[in-house]
């Protein structure tokens, strides 16, 4: 019973905090990109446009929901909520602080990766149900990309698992608190694995330079071409949530999570997540996108082999360390 | 003003091989419609005029004979199609010539020689109504497919009512 | 690896731009300065004695490429100031909906009566708002800032004989005016 | 890779799909006329085998405004502001091209000051136009919410400087109507040359930044190298001119080869690239931008004294009368050879042209689409279209 209560309480707290943070992450990205592009960004709603996310949400809610002709209405409606649920559910196993974790699963990493795989389904469902060629092409690209990049994502995420000897994120973080962050120790595998994990996360979350499923200059708006109002808003929200959670997971896996010099705690975790989050934005607003086949080439010819090698190296390092 | 010197290389070619007699001061020489594809080929292959510039057709309505002028027979309704090719590079030059056909007759198309003539001829067909014989895909280019008339003809009034837009 | 280095170089560029001052302004609050010659809307002018300059000569109506100016001539009568007979304009309307801001009407005006104004952003909520009646045109004279160009100045600037002699003693032949107009405008402006 | 092999072959624009593969289940994708990357209202029908384009059928005419018919009804003096709207990215060029044709018919000598001024304006316009091209091309590659829009806005930021220069001179940012038969309508103001110097030094310095973000970027190179290859023969046959022709290795530039304005008094270094792909066209344009900066810097201080108009200034709509004659005047616009073919006289009286034909470089560039697109992917279609730099206002007229 207490387990259920704990889950509900933490779930509510984490969910609402994350949603709020995501809303202002959108504001932050708009402001950040604006300044990067010599613009002002949102200025009108609230001081320095801080209330802009609320205005956006209100606007989206007021908009009419349009169903395309011959669209599969049930699936069309079903896709957006799934997106949000899956990306929120990922956050359940992220350790925000020493004891701040909604559900300390033994298979935390596996759970995250499984949910990342599930995220492909709403994309495909939405693209198929829209009865739009652009959405269909985008959905097919999304599936191909998601399935391919799952591999380097899993392989690189296994490196910390092997090093820490556990699949639980909280154990991985505590291990790093004891033995040093994986990004610096052992030198090499952690850093390369982080690089691959980061790139694969960019691809999983459809961020530039890997945003071909929603490549708006080619495919209008990709899967969301036919979505309007809050249905589109859900996709949009889920995208940001997914990015935020990916940054948080990367921070936990490779940067020691809540551990930091002087006083460990939530603040370190937030700081690390934010740095990763901002660098994702920074990359997004700088680069152009790959083409679908180049993206696959990068994945299968470079990321997968390298991550395999790094995984082996990590295993060897652990074996050598055992004798110590 | 477009003027081709009859003594120039181009003028000699036109005069000797393509039977151009008149070299007006303010227009390109006329070449017969039967010979003009051959002219374009010779210009492109032997003289380096390889950049396709333009096709410009114009419509000339009937001119009644002037009774005051002796021997004036007037002018039947006809099309005048001006062509131009360019020789690229530092010694660039433009070869202009005109083809004249009566309404109802067609002009041999330049598309087999110049891919660029494709859309230009379609445009002239669309806007002026000249039919280019041998064009692989002579459809309207600018106007809607079901448009009536050819807007750039002189007898097409500028305030012709436009059908309701689809 | 090449991708990473290239991306870092590109990211360096965007980071450098992050610290450059923004070029956009918060529009309704801040307005960018407009040049002297900026042309935005139209106005009809009075001379210094308060008499309408427009003589209803139809020059602007005839030159307008999009045919948006309509002039209704009034019968000739004496001017209250000079006492000479001159033409009058009964009505002049200008439809900004189709205006292409070519400044030709200003250039051809023999009396510098019609000018353009440089106060930017003259939006309207309905099409009628962009339809300038004669009353509105005379109102613009008082409310809005005039642009540099007038018929005299433009013709003087384009005079083919300009610069041939240093100081033109008599006004350019094309710029002979039936009524005294803005004479101070004929300076040698523009010779940089 | 099979995609690359098929791209090298010249595609058949009239391909019968039955010949391709009677069994193939091709997907027809309608790109445009409302699509983010068709640069206006261009439409192409793409027949897709998977994501590979089998056949591309382009449609133009959505922006057809009947300019040529309109010009037959307007007098010679009224035409200039109308043709301004053709190539709305480089309006100066339209005005100059049409007035050059009329000057040729009239035999009017343009004063030296006006010729210099026209040269400077043309080069500034070229910078502005290439900047806009670079921005929109990167936008096609990089997306509206991504790196593409960043470079797009950088380019627009610098383009504003050029537009400010034009505003200072002519009073308008876009549709200037600053050229007239025989010269210019607006003379330069006292601070103008300084303004130009400031603007071009900023643009020159920032060109390095653009290069770091585009041509020296691996992802950008991957998207543009070997894509949309036009060999020199096809380019010439199609009537491609300007950067698209020079990107295919043909050393041809009207500014050097058939000097107009004051180009005979200044050195123009023609930029060529042999590859003929999107990257080659991009490199040519970026180098041309630098070259234009150099030309402007050399010329803007030395604008000679004298009148700016060699013909009677416009006072009457019907004042310019041309009895008869045909003329073709052309200049090197940022997109290629922008020509004007005029038949004067005829049955339309002496004040209006009988037939006026504008030779738009963009139309010829778009005509290349069915030849180069097959064999590429949908993503490349956008890149190819962007690299051709079509302006639909000019193509459709």
Residue C148: list chain D partners with CB under 8 A: 171
Are C14 and A34 within 8 A, CB to CB? no
Domains of chain D, CATH where assigned: 1-64+362-390 (3.30.390), 67-359 (1.10.645.10)
Which chain B residues are Cβ-neighbours of D240 within 8 angstroms? 51, 116
Mutate to test the interface with A, among D1, D48, D145 (most CBs of A within 10 A): D145
D256: chain B residues, CB-CB within 8 Å: 90
For chain C, the structural domain boundaries read 32-153
D189/C63 touch (CB, cutoff 8 Å), yes or no = no
Instruction: Return the CATH class of domain C32-153.
Output: alpha beta
Q: Region D164-187: what's the mean pLDDT?
A: 87
ipTM of the complex: 0.84
Average the pLDDT over C141-162 and give the result.
Answer: 82
The pLDDT score that the predictor gives to residue A1 is: 62
Count, residues in chain D: 397
D142 contacts on A by Cβ (under 8 Å): 208, 217, 287-289
Q: What angle do CA D120, C106, C179 make, to 5 degrees?
A: 130
The per-residue pLDDT string of chain A (324 residues; one tens digit each, 9 = 90 and over) reads 677 787 788 778 877 888 888 888 888 888 888 888 888 888 888 788 888 888 888 888 888 888 888 888 888 888 888 888 888 888 878 887 777 676 777 888 888 888 888 888 888 888 888 888 888 888 888 888 888 888 898 888 888 888 888 888 888 888 887 777 877 777 777 888 888 898 888 888 888 788 887 777 778 877 888 888 888 888 888 888 888 888 888 888 888 777 777 777 778 888 888 888 888 888 888 888 888 888 888 888 888 998 899 888 888 888 887 644
Instruction: Yes or no: say if A286 and C14 are a contact pair by the CB < 8 Å rule.
Output: yes
Q: Mark whether C and B touch (3+ CB pairs within 8 Å).
A: no
Quickly list DSSP for B92-150. -EEEEEEEEEETT-EEE-STTT-TTHHHHHHHHHHHT-PEEET-TT---SSS-TT--S-
Q: Span D173-187, mean pLDDT?
A: 86
pLDDT value at C161 more than 80: no
Residue D109 has pLDDT above 60, yes or no: yes
Q: Which residues of D131-149 are buried (b: 16+ CB within 10 A; e: fewer)?
A: bbbbbbbbbbbbbebbbbb
User: Does A217 contact D27 at a Cβ distance shorter than 8 Å?
Assistant: no
Cβ-defined contact of A38 to C22 (cutoff 8 Å): yes
Q: What per-residue confidence (pLDDT) applies to C177?
A: 41
Q: What is the Cα–Cα distance from C171 to C43, expressed in whole angstroms?
A: 25
B17 min Cα distance to partner chain D (Å): 23
Q: Is A180 left (phi over 0), alpha (psi -120 to 50) or beta?
A: left
Contact A303, A196 (CB under 8 A): yes
Cβ–Cβ gap C14/A286 under 8 Å: yes
| First-residue to last-residue Cα distance in chain B | 42
The whole-number pLDDT of residue C185 equals: 38
Structure-block tokens of residue D382: 């956008």
| Chain center to CA of A139 | 18
Instruction: Please provide the DSSP assignment of D225-264 as one string.
Output: TTSS---HHHHHHHT--THHHHTTT----HHHHS--TTGG
Q: Nearest-CA neighbor of B1 among D341, D321, D94, D264?
A: D341
Neighbours of A165 (CB within 10 A): 12
Per-residue pLDDT at D46 exceeds 80? yes
Most confident of C65-69, C77-81, C170-174: C65-69
* Cα D240 from Cα D250, distance rounded (Å): 10
- Among A31-40, D144-153, D355-364, the range scoring the smallest mean pLDDT is D144-153
Give the residue-averaged pLDDT of B102-113: 85
**Angle formed at CA C131 by CA C126 and CA C133, multiple of 5 degrees:** 135
- Band (D367; pLDDT cuts 50, 70, 90): confident
Question: How does pLDDT run across D313-341, given as a tens digit for each residue?
Answer: 877 777 777 878 888 988 888 988 888 99
- C12 part of contact set with chain D, CB < 8 Å: yes
Q: Which residues of C touch D83 (CB under 8 A)?
A: none
Residue of A nearest to C12 (CA): A286
Provide the strand spans (E) within D96-243.
179-180, 183-184
Q: Supply the pLDDT for residue C163.
A: 64
Q: Note the pLDDT of residue B166.
A: 54
Q: Give yes or no for a cis peptide into C19 (omega within 30° of 0).
A: no
- Chain D residue numbers with beta carbons less than 8 Å from the beta carbon of A217 are 36-37, 139-144, 148, 382
pLDDT of residue B165: 64
The mean pLDDT of B70-86, rounded to a whole number, is 83
**The two three-digit tokens of residue A11, written as one number:** 């779930």
A139-143, B140-144, D297-301, D343-347: which range is least confident on average? Answer: D343-347
D180–C contact, CB cutoff 8 A: yes
Which CATH code fits B9-133?
3.30.460.80
Which has the closest alpha carbon to D356: D34, D76, D58? D76
Helix A266-284 vs helix A229-254: crossing angle, to nearest 10:
120
Length of chain A: 324
Q: Is the dihedral of CA C14, C19, C21, C25 positive or negative?
A: positive
Closest chain D residue to C61 measured between Cα atoms?
D317
Angstroms from A28 CA to nearest CA on chain C: 14
Q: Work out the pLDDT band at D10, boundaries 50, 70, 90.
A: low
The Cα D370–Cα D57 span in angstroms is 6
Between positions 253 and 312 of D, the ones with CB within 8 A of C are: 303, 305-312
In the predicted model, what is the mean pLDDT of residues D200-215? 86
């Amino acid at each position: 019973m207490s387990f259920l209560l704990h889950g509900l309480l933490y779930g509510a707290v984490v969910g609402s905090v994350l949603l709020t943070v995501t809303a202002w992450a959108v504001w932050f990205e708009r402001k950040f990109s604006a300044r990067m592009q010599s613009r002002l960004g949102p200025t009108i709603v609230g001081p320095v446009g801080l209330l802009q996310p609320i205005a956006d949400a209100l606007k989206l809610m007021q908009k009419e929901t349009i169903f395309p002709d011959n669209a599969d209405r049930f699936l069309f409606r079903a896709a957006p909520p799934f997106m949000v649920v899956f990306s929120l559910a990922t956050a359940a196993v992220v350790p925000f602080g020493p004891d701040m974790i909604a559900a300390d699963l033994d298979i935390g990493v596996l759970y995250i990766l499984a949910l990342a795989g599930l995220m492909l389904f709403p994309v495909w469902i939405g693209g198929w149900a829209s009865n739009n060629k652009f959405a269909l092409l985008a959905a097919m690209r999304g599936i191909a990309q998601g399935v391919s990049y799952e591999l380097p994502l899993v392989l690189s995420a296994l490196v910390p698992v092997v090093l820490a000897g556990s699949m639980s994120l909280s154990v991985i973080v505590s291990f790093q608190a004891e033995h040093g962050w994986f990004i610096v120790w052992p030198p090499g595998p952690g850093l390369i694995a982080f690089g691959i994990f980061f790139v694969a996360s960019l691809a999983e979350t459809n961020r530039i330079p890997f945003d071909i499923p929603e490549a708006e200059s080619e495919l209008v708006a990709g899967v969301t071409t036919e979505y309007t109002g809050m249905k589109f808003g859900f996709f949009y929200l889920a995208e940001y949530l997914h990015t935020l959670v990916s940054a948080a997971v990367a921070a936990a896996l490779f940067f020691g999570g809540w551990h930091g010099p002087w006083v460990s705690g939530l603040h370190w975790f937030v700081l690390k997540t934010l740095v990763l989050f901002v660098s994702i934005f920074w990359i997004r607003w700088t680069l152009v996108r790959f083409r679908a086949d180049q993206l696959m080439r990068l994945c299968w010819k470079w990321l997968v082999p390298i991550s395999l090698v790094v995984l082996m190296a990590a295993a060897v390092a652990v074996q050598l360390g055992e004798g110590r | 003003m477009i003027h081709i010197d009859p003594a120039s290389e181009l003028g000699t070619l036109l005069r000797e091989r393509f039977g151009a007699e008149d070299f007006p001061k303010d227009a390109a020489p006329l070449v017969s419609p039967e010979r003009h594809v051959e002219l374009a080929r010779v210009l492109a292959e032997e003289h380096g005029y390889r950049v396709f510039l333009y096709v410009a057709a114009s419509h000339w309505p009937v001119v009644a004979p002037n009774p005051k002028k002796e021997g004036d027979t007037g002018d039947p309704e006809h099309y005048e199609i001006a062509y131009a090719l360019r020789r690229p590079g530092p010694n660039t030059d433009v070869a202009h010539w005109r083809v004249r056909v009566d309404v109802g007759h067609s002009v041999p198309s330049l598309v087999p020689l110049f891919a660029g003539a494709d859309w230009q001829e379609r445009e002239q067909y669309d806007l002026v109504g000249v039919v280019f014989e041998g064009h692989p895909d002579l459809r309207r280019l600018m106007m809607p497919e079901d448009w009536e008339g050819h807007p750039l003809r002189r007898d097409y009034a500028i305030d012709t009512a436009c059908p309701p837009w689809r | 690896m090449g991708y990473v280095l290239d991306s870092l170089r590109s990211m360096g560029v965007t980071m450098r731009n992050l610290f450059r001052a923004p070029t956009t302004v918060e529009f309704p609050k801040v307005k960018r300065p407009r040049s002297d010659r900026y042309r935005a809307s139209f106005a009809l002018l009075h001379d210094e004695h308060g008499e309408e300059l427009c003589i209803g000569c139809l020059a602007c109506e005839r030159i307008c490429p999009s045919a948006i100016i309509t002039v209704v001539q009034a019968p000739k009568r004496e001017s209250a100031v000079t006492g000479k007979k001159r033409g009058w304009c009964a009505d002049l309307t200008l439809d900004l909906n189709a205006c292409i801001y070519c400044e030709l009407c200003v250039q051809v005006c023999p009396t510098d009566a019609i000018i353009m104004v440089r106060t930017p952003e003259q939006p309207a909520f309905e099409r009628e708002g962009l339809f300038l009646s004669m009353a509105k045109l005379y109102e613009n004279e008082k409310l809005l800032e005039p642009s540099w160009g007038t018929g005299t100045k433009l013709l003087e600037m384009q005079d083919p004989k300009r610069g041939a002699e240093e100081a033109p003693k008599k006004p350019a032949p094309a710029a002979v005016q039936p009524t005294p107009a803005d004479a101070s405008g004929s300076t040698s402006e523009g010779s940089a | 890779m099979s995609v690359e092999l098929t791209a090298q072959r010249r595609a058949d624009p009239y391909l019968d799909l039955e010949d391709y593969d009677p069994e193939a289940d091709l997907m027809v994708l309608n790109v445009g006329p409302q699509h983010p990357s068709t640069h206006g209202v261009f439409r192409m029908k793409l027949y897709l085998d998977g994501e590979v384009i089998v056949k591309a059928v382009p449609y133009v005419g959505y922006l057809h405004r009947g300019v040529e018919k309109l010009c037959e009804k307007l007098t010679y003096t009224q035409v200039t502001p109308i043709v301004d709207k053709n190539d709305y990215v480089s309006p100066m060029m339209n005005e100059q091209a049409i007035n050059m044709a009329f000057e040729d018919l009239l035999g009017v000598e343009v004063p030296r000051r006006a010729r210099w001024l026209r040269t400077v304006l043309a080069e500034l316009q070229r910078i502005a136009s290439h900047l806009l091209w670079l921005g929109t091309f990167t936008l096609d590659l990089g997306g509206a919410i991504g790196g593409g829009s960043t470079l797009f806005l950088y380019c627009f930021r610098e383009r504003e400087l050029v537009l400010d220069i034009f505003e200072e001179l002519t009073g308008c940012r876009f549709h200037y109507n600053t050229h007239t038969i025989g010269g210019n309508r607006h003379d330069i103001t006292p601070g103008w040359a300084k303004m130009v110097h400031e603007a071009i030094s900023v643009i020159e310095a920032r060109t390095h930044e653009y290069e770091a973000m585009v041509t020296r970027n691996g992802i950008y190179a991957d998207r543009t190298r070997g894509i949309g290859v036009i060999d020199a023969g096809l380019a010439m046959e199609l009537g491609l001119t300007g950067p698209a022709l020079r990107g295919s290795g043909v050393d041809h530039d009207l500014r050097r080869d058939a000097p107009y304005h004051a180009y005979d008094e200044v050195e123009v270094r023609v930029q060529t690239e042999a590859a003929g792909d999107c990257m080659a066209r991009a490199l040519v344009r970026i180098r041309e931008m630098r070259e234009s900066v150099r030309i402007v810097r050399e010329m803007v201080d030395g604008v000679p004294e004298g009148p700016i108009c060699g013909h009677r200034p416009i006072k009457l709509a019907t004042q310019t009368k041309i009895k008869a004659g045909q003329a073709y005047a052309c200049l090197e616009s940022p997109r290629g050879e922008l020509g004007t073919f005029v038949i004067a006289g005829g049955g339309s009286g002496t004040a209006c042209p009988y037939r006026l034909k504008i030779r738009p470089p963009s139309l010829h560039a778009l005509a290349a689409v069915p030849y180069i697109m097959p064999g590429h992917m949908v993503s490349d279609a956008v890149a190819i279209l962007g690299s051709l730099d079509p302006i639909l206002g000019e193509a459709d007229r």
